[in-house]
Chains A and B, each alone.
Chain A
């Protein structure tokens, strides 16, 4: 199973590139998708899900263009904003989703019902399954979104910020659901929560201004900050003078702050090199505008 993109690019009206032509490859497992707002993550996900016609190149799942209607049942998509028919119950929709999927993935109603029950259990919606969707909380709606994507056992699941707005317990549950699903599928997970990527993904794709800046394992991304992460302990006056916005973090201690920043050169003579994290690597890769406090 292979999801690949060849020279896949999207140019919007006005000539601006939403995604510059990129060569991408995804195998089974969970893949993180990172990038600042406007970097082209959603464009890429929609292109890979076959919801957007590319300007250049094409995306293929096992050699067949994802735009082909036959590919739809192989790709599940959960956008960041998810609404559900308010008058339908979760179970009704999932049953309809299963039963109306071409190719009869579940030959009879009993099997379909079992699959729905299983997915409802996985996303912790069993107790609310027969309530109209208009009564669901934001978190429940997110889980229902995941459920509708995985209930037909697609080969690829593309998920846009599924854990945003969820409490830690729900995040964990959802992460585990996706992790389990990734054993046999390709899962592309877009999120701003790096810990989710760190905890679940084997590889990561970083987009920057519509360009695929990095695709590889997590260690590789962290290595972008190799030799550039500095840490030191600073007094409060010194911390203020340096500018909090230029710091990656500043943890308060009894005597001041333990500061951490990204820089090519040590910011002061007390700074010591530190082990880079995924976040450091990501920040080193994409950088930040100087007005907001450039690290590099």
Chain B
């Protein structure tokens, strides 16, 4: 040990005296500093997100350093012909290798050290506590250390195996392969995600790392399983180097080296087993979803089969093995013994199975018992649904109920080309259970997922027409802060959380290491990560001012929204875009992105939800057809009038000009004239002191409803039909008529 320590110290001195390596850690820190101090006000203010993206880029290049260093460390002396004398030194081969590895790792740890120091300093400047900041960066630091160590050992092994003239180019290829190529071209193209074990860089485009609130359960759990393998593989590389070095500098019988090397390889392979098992579980879970899901072109719209539900009662418990155990009771109205279609309450929906009521339920859930109106009944479980004989309903009962007790693993992994994600996950450290994924029975419906090629997508329409009274009890998550798209009741002391809501949409449950950001007087709470606290407070202040303005003007309480969930949503959903500005129940999900933040666009999105109940930004006006509706333009004018009345307000919160997205048809100028006309109208009214009249006119239309609703799909299920909408028809003529009426 004494010799090893002395030799390590010598190797460190030699690295230090090379001088150039000393420049690199401060340079890495300086790069990070530049990334963190110059954050654009129009981008996310989350330091963690900026650090992670910057680190992804930096690490891609920096990981070449350990490979190069590893080659140099062995090729500059012990295997250099002019240092043959050193082979006669009384230092064993393994001491040589271990000292080089130790010194290299110690030196390379300076890079994460500088980065961490810079990050902690930047966080401290932003008022974040050191303990919180450290908890954010610790996993990334461990990954960097591990990646540097294994890359160094790879370099040492290449250096031992090959002469410099070959080791250096092969090392270069190994760097490119491990840091970029394998993930972009092999794993991405061929979906061979178990090969992630051989990534040298997990920081590049890793959606599981982006959300610091879910860091541990998503990225952490995976790296935790990977780390023993990396460690053991590192030992194998060292033993391989040792065995090969034994040829150049014999110490023991040659066979001994190779036996140890082979043993290390087998142990490393054994170390892969837990990681491999994780992937087997993920792939088999995905395969199960694939087998139970139809091809997209064979999918039919869910609402065709969906029926109305009056009440959903759920008792959800996270079990010891982090599976869900649920007792669900679904109450639904019937007419003539048949449920009511969500599309037309006068008639029943289409049945997927003749004479049987079907519910969609995630295939991972195993039903233990089903009951109709409290009486146990037989059921048929088929793929992603279960069905009950319609005849089991009480003939003379208006409201029927189906109860079902089930349990299973809801955590479902998926990928879409090079992007991996979770459809849903539940653990004691994080949970995301989108209401549309079928973790509780969804009435009717065609399927939860559909397949396109070899890709699996969750369907976006499973809960479009679901509206019921919800009563949900959640337990088993310990101290994990839980949030939902329903209003919570005060938590019981034993961690049981209760949520309820009347006539509300699908129930989404989520939780993680998030913070609740509130300001005095504003009923909306932002659920976000610690790094977004300041930005969220600023956003809430502006939102509150506008709330007061609109509530006073319009004389109504804008209480549709209670929560804004603002954090990176990249980790879940096959199409994470759907969560960028999405509303479920009382919550607006604002996906955090590096180059977008809680800015004017997000503010107006939330305001649209608060004022109109939707966020549609589609114009229906047509400058060549004055009979078309100007509903969109009216909504936008309502949003803009605040700025007219508050000219001193920061331009930062000004919405960009009215967007005119043509619905269809030729030309790209549809809708142009009505918006411009109303904009001018607004300016002119302000100039002429007729704002009051303008507000009265707008209020007139607001009170009659400016909601824009997505239309049903009808027969086949095609998501591109999103532009089919329901809205009030308000023409320019209507506008002038009302305007004139307020002028009298």
Q: Residues of A at under 8 Å CB distance from B?
A: 46, 49-53, 67-69, 72-73, 75-79, 81-83, 85, 87-88, 96-97, 99-102, 145, 148-149, 152
In whole angstroms, what is the CA distance A67 to B85 when docked? 15
Would you give 5 A-B contacts (Cβ < 8 Å), ordered by A? A46-B84, A53-B247, A77-B85, A83-B80, A88-B17
Residue among B10, B85, B250 making CB contact with A79, cutoff 8 Å: B85
7 extra A-B contacts, CB within 8 A, seeds A52-B250, A87-B18: A51-B249, A51-B250, A73-B90, A83-B80, A88-B17, A100-B91, A152-B90
Contact with A along B64-85 (1 / 0, CB 8 A): 0000000000000100111111
Chain A, residue nearest B82 (CB): A83
Residue among B6, B18, B77, B82 making CB contact with A82, cutoff 8 Å: B82
Q: Taking A96-B10, A100-B6 as contacts, is the C-beta distance between A75 and B88 under 8 angstroms?
A: yes
Residue among B6, B82, B88, B254 making CB contact with A96, cutoff 8 Å: B6
Q: A69 to B92, Cβ gap below 8 A?
A: yes
| Residue B721 interfacial (CB < 8 Å) | no
Main secondary structure of the interface of A (DSSP, over half): loop
Q: Residues of B contacting A96 with CB < 8 Å?
A: 6, 10
Q: How many A-B residue contacts, CB cutoff 8 Å?
A: 72
Q: Residues of A contacting B247 with CB < 8 Å?
A: 53
Q: Residues of A contacting B77 with CB < 8 Å?
A: 85
Q: B83 to A88, Cβ gap below 8 A?
A: no
Contact with A along B86-102 (1 / 0, CB 8 A): 01111110000000000
Q: B254 to A53, Cβ gap below 8 A?
A: yes
In whole angstroms, what is the CA distance A78 to B84 when docked? 8
In whole angstroms, what is the CA distance A77 to B83 when docked? 11
Q: Residues of A contacting B252 with CB < 8 Å?
A: 67, 69
Q: Residues of A contacting B82 with CB < 8 Å?
A: 81-83
In whole angstroms, what is the CA distance A73 to B89 when docked? 7
| Residue B577 interfacial (CB < 8 Å) | no
Q: Of residues 1 to 36 in B, which have CB atoms within 8 Å of A's CB atoms?
A: 2-3, 6-7, 10, 13-14, 17-18
Q: B85 to A149, Cβ gap below 8 A?
A: yes
Q: Taking A53-B250, A67-B250, A67-B251 as contacts, is the C-beta distance between A72 and B81 under 8 angstroms?
A: no
Q: Residues of A contacting B13 with CB < 8 Å?
A: 87-88
Q: A51 to B6, Cβ gap below 8 A?
A: no
Q: B7 to A82, Cβ gap below 8 A?
A: no
Q: B88 to A51, Cβ gap below 8 A?
A: yes
Q: Residues of B contacting A53 with CB < 8 Å?
A: 247, 250, 254
Q: A76 to B88, Cβ gap below 8 A?
A: yes
Give chain A nearest CB distance to B100 CB in angstroms: 13
Residue tally, chain B, CB below 8 Å to A: 28
Chain A, residue nearest B90 (CB): A73
Q: Residues of A contacting B18 with CB < 8 Å?
A: 87
Chain B, residue nearest A87 (CB): B17
In whole angstroms, what is the CA distance A88 to B80 when docked? 17
Q: A145 to B85, Cβ gap below 8 A?
A: yes
Q: Residues of A contacting B85 with CB < 8 Å?
A: 77-79, 82, 145, 148-149
Q: Residues of B contacting A76 with CB < 8 Å?
A: 88
Give chain A nearest CB distance to B260 CB in angstroms: 15
Q: Residues of B contacting A78 with CB < 8 Å?
A: 85
Q: Residues of B contacting A69 with CB < 8 Å?
A: 90, 92, 251-252
In whole angstroms, what is the CA distance A52 to B85 when docked? 13
Give chain B nearest CB distance to A111 CB in angstroms: 16
Give chain A nearest CB distance to B96 CB in angstroms: 11
Q: Residues of B contacting A49 with CB < 8 Å?
A: 88
Residue among A50, A68, A102 making CB contact with B88, cutoff 8 Å: A50
Q: A72 to B250, Cβ gap below 8 A?
A: no
Give chain B nearest CB distance to A157 CB in angstroms: 10
Q: A85 to B14, Cβ gap below 8 A?
A: yes
Chain B, residue nearest A132 (CB): B17
Residue among A73, A81, A99 making CB contact with B81, cutoff 8 Å: A81
Give chain A nearest CB distance to B147 CB in angstroms: 28
Residue among B80, B87, B89 making CB contact with A97, cutoff 8 Å: B89
Give chain B nearest CB distance to A220 CB in angstroms: 30
In whole angstroms, what is the CA distance A76 to B715 when docked? 89
Q: Residues of B contacting A79 with CB < 8 Å?
A: 84-85
Chain A, residue nearest B76 (CB): A85
What are the nearest 3 A-B pairs in CB distance?
A73-B90, A77-B88, A87-B17
Chain A, residue nearest B87 (CB): A51
Give chain A nearest CB distance to B81 CB in angstroms: 7
Q: Residues of B contacting A67 with CB < 8 Å?
A: 250-252
Give chain A nearest CB distance to B402 CB in angstroms: 76
Chain A, residue nearest B77 (CB): A85
Give chain A nearest CB distance to B138 CB in angstroms: 35
Give chain B nearest CB distance to A51 CB in angstroms: 5
Q: Taking A50-B88, A72-B90, A87-B17 as contacts, is the C-beta distance between A99 and B250 under 8 angstroms?
A: no
In whole angstroms, what is the CA distance A50 to B92 when docked? 12
Q: Residues of B contacting A85 with CB < 8 Å?
A: 14, 77
Chain B, residue nearest A96 (CB): B10
Q: Residues of B contacting A99 with CB < 8 Å?
A: 6
Q: Residues of A contacting B250 with CB < 8 Å?
A: 50-53, 67
Q: Residues of B contacting A52 with CB < 8 Å?
A: 250
Contact with A along B392-431 (1 / 0, CB 8 A): 0000000000000000000000000000000000000000
In whole angstroms, what is the CA distance A46 to B88 when docked? 9
In whole angstroms, what is the CA distance A46 to B81 when docked? 13
In whole angstroms, what is the CA distance A83 to B81 when docked? 9
In whole angstroms, what is the CA distance A79 to B86 when docked? 10
Give chain B nearest CB distance to A73 CB in angstroms: 3
Q: A87 to B14, Cβ gap below 8 A?
A: yes
In whole angstroms, what is the CA distance A152 to B90 when docked? 10
The CB with the most chain B CB atoms within 10 A, among A68, A79, A101, is that of: A79
Q: Taking A87-B18, A88-B14 as contacts, is the C-beta distance between A51 and B251 under 8 angstroms?
A: no
Contact with A along B224-258 (1 / 0, CB 8 A): 00000000000000000000000101111010000
Give chain A nearest CB distance to B585 CB in angstroms: 67
Give chain A nearest CB distance to B10 CB in angstroms: 5
Give chain A nearest CB distance to B245 CB in angstroms: 12
Chain A, residue nearest B246 (CB): A53
In whole angstroms, what is the CA distance A149 to B86 when docked? 10
In whole angstroms, what is the CA distance A67 to B251 when docked? 5
In whole angstroms, what is the CA distance A52 to B82 when docked? 16
In whole angstroms, what is the CA distance A46 to B85 when docked? 10
Chain A, residue nearest B19 (CB): A87
Chain B, residue nearest A75 (CB): B88
In whole angstroms, what is the CA distance A177 to B472 when docked? 92
In whole angstroms, what is the CA distance A46 to B84 when docked? 10
Q: Residues of A contacting B14 with CB < 8 Å?
A: 85, 87-88
Q: Residues of A contacting B83 with CB < 8 Å?
A: 83
Contact with A along B196-213 (1 / 0, CB 8 A): 000000000000000000
Q: Residues of B contacting A149 with CB < 8 Å?
A: 85, 88
Q: Residues of B contacting A77 with CB < 8 Å?
A: 84-85, 87-88
Q: B88 to A81, Cβ gap below 8 A?
A: no
In whole angstroms, what is the CA distance A145 to B556 when docked? 93
Q: Residues of B contacting A152 with CB < 8 Å?
A: 90
Chain A, residue nearest B17 (CB): A87
In whole angstroms, what is the CA distance A73 to B90 when docked? 5
Q: Residues of B contacting A102 with CB < 8 Å?
A: 3, 90
Contact with A along B168-186 (1 / 0, CB 8 A): 0000000000000000000
In whole angstroms, what is the CA distance A148 to B85 when docked? 9
In whole angstroms, what is the CA distance A77 to B251 when docked? 16
Q: Residues of A contacting B89 with CB < 8 Å?
A: 72, 97
Q: Residues of B contacting A68 with CB < 8 Å?
A: 251
Q: B84 to A81, Cβ gap below 8 A?
A: yes
Q: A101 to B84, Cβ gap below 8 A?
A: no
